[in-house]
């Protein structure tokens, strides 16, 4: 494992939060990042106000992709689907706390992409 990764990233990678699948789930979506071989699936349960009451992710791939999914799950629990619309690349980078090149950026953004496309459809996902 590279020394460049912060301890917190390794911790989320080794001990992912909200890891697993929800059955039943109100929203389920998965996608992959073929450049790196990362795969992320996200399941959400929402209440009548579209508040996220349960969330889980599963998948496999590099430390960045899995850690960002784990951090994102911790962050979105209790928020609404509307709140998710406001999440940007910068929010993910802030959670990870490291600079990423274009290839690693795809790894980091996979979980946000899956979340947004799952919640709103592909038109809400605009990749820079
Ligand atoms: Zn990756």
Residue 1 scores a pLDDT above 50: no
SS (H, E, C) 100-123: CCHHHHHHHHHHHHHHHHHHHCHH
Residue 113 scores a pLDDT above 70: yes
Ligand 1 centroid to Cα of residue 63, in Å, is 7
Q: Please tell me the predicted confidence (pLDDT) of residue 5.
A: 72
Ligand 1 centroid to Cα of residue 123, in Å, is 23
- CA 127 from chain centre, in angstroms, equals 15
**Which region holds residue 37: left if phi is over 0, alpha if psi is between -120 and 50, else beta?**
left
Across all residues in the chain, what is the average pLDDT? 93
Q: pTM, whole model, 2 decimals? A: 0.92
pLDDT digits (tens, 9 = 90+) for 16-73: 999 999 999 999 999 999 999 999 999 999 999 999 999 999 999 999 999 999 999 9
**Length of the chain, in residues:** 128
Ligand 1 centroid to Cα of residue 38, in Å, is 5
Determine the Cα–Cα distance for residues 119 and 48; give it in Å rounded to an integer.
15
Domain 2-120 has CATH 3.90.1010.10: yes
């Amino acid at each position: 494992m590279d020394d460049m990764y912060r301890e917190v990233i390794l911790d989320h990678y080794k001990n992912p939060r909200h890891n697993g699948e929800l059955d039943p789930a109100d929203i389920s979506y998965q996608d992959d990042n073929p450049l790196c071989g990362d795969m992320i699936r996200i399941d959400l349960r929402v209440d009548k106000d579209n508040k996220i009451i349960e969330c889980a992710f599963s998948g496999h791939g590099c430390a960045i992709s899995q850690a960002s999914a784990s951090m994102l799950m911790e962050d979105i629990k209790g928020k609404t689907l509307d709140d998710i619309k406001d999440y940007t690349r910068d929010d993910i980078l802030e959670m990870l706390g490291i600079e990423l090149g274009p290839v690693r950026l795809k790894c980091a953004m996979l979980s946000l992409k899956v979340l947004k496309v799952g919640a709103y459809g592909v038109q809400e996902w605009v990749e820079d």
